[in-house]
Amino acid sequence: MGAMRAVPTVRLAGIYFAYFAWIGAFGPYFSLYLQSIGQTAVEIGVLLSLMQFMRIFAPNLWAGIADRRGRRASLLRIAFAASLVSYCGVFLTQSFWGLFATLALVALFTSAAMPLFETLVFAHLDDEIGRYGPIRVWGSVGFIVAVLGVGAILDTQPIDTLLVLQLPMLAASLLIALGLRDPGAMAVHGAERSVWPVLRRPEVAALFSACFLMSVAHGPLYTFFSIYLADHGYSKSTIGWLWAIGVVAEIGVFLLAPRIFKRWSNRQVLVFSFACAVVRFALVGWGVDHLLLLAAAQILHAASFGSYHAAALGQVNRWFEGGQRSRGQALYLSLSFGAGGMLGGMGAGLAWDGAGPAWTFSAAALCAAAGLVLVAWGVRSTTAADKR
């Protein structure tokens, strides 16, 4: 077994580092670029929600091919190459519709990359969730390096410098993926079976619904947090540090993952994570003028994303096995980060100028609270005693 599952740790960690470095440059700062070229709050909400919208459809299309063909590494390379080519469109247009088409293409391919890649990671790790954290942590490191470095650069350089800074990160993801291979004897049994019977199980539906709400709750944060801070006088470097604080805390969770999942069940971790999310969004909404409160809110990212994502992904991998694995992960991404993220981002765009930022983040906290209820009472039947 050990010989069959020799783990290409450096290559897997390198892809996480490069890809999330791109996220670290794009996520916190691209909204500021859009604002600088005259896009309105509603237009920014729509454009950034495209990344989530494509996650509703694209991962399922690619995952169906991956589960049947088993060639996930080849598909991953295609996804990264197409992402890089599509991204170059940002240099050609500043119009809403031009950016709409460009970001839609970028999202089509980047949304396929992560479910394909994470399926490969778990296959190499023999589905041991405790071993996932120490490799995934390099994605967090990449995010921190990018968010701090880009923030410092943008304090002295024009905001459109951001467009150039993101190119090497996507290129590095592709170059590293060129040497990645599928693990030997990768299971594809069950590829002919539909995933819908699993999805309709009450405990599965409850978790996916809760994940949808968690992503809705994160919509205002991912779309407008940087703008919110800039409007209150924070520099780009400070904005970068606040984003980085959250990811540093996330690193702690990933490094402690083996201990966390030996001691607590997935359900217990999820309940704690959703409760922390409620507190986090309330603090962001009402504590924007207090740097320490914002820092505390960002530390809670360790739970509202780090432990939450690891526990949810681990549970999905138990429910969807063998040839259903890629489609199970794609459904998780589509229904949560895709549909939930799209609704959260577009809803935030509509509410931002009318209800105001504080009430927009309050609505996010309520969504997280609803997800907490679903996890606490709906997922109990399968995970209360399920420990690694």
Percent of the chain with pLDDT strictly greater than 70? 86
Q: What is the pLDDT of residue 1?
A: 39
Residue 383 has pLDDT above 50, yes or no: no
pLDDT digit string (tens) for 100-139?
999 999 988 887 787 788 778 877 776 565 677 778 888 8
Q: Is the pLDDT of residue 382 over 70?
A: no
Burial pattern 69-99, b for ≥16 Cβ within 10 A else e, equals: ebebbbbbbbbbbbbbebbebbeeeeebeeb
* Residues 88, 92, 95, 101, Cα dihedral to 10°: -40
**Rounded to the nearest 5°, which phi and psi values hold at 294?**
-65, -40
Examine the pLDDT at 362 and tell me if it is beyond 80.
Answer: yes
Q: What is the DSSP letter of 49?
A: H
Confidence of residue 95 (pLDDT cuts 50, 70, 90): very high
For CA atoms 104, 105, 108, 111, the dihedral sign is negative
Superfamily of domain 9-183+194-383: MFS general substrate transporter like domains (1.20.1250.20)
Average pLDDT over residues 24-51: 89
End-to-end CA distance of the chain: 19
Would you state the pLDDT for residue 367? 96
What does the radius of gyration of the chain's CA atoms come to, in whole angstroms?
20
- Across 279-307, average pLDDT: 93
SS3 179: coil
| Residue 3 reports pLDDT greater than 50 | no
Q: What is the mean pLDDT of residues 11-29?
A: 91
pLDDT greater than 90 at residue 326 = no
Give the pair of three-digit tokens for residue 61.
Answer: 């299309």
Assess contact for 165 and 153: CB atoms under 8 A: yes
Q: How far apart are CA 95 and CA 142, in angstroms?
A: 30
pLDDT exceeds cutoff 90 at 342: no
**Amino acid, res. 164:** V
Q: Helix (H) and strand (E) counts for the chain?
A: 18, 0
Q: What mean pLDDT, rounded, does the chain reach?
A: 84
Burial of residue 12, with CB atoms counted within 10 A of its CB: 0-12 exposed, 13-18 middle, 19 or more buried: buried
Q: What is the mean pLDDT of residues 236-246?
A: 91
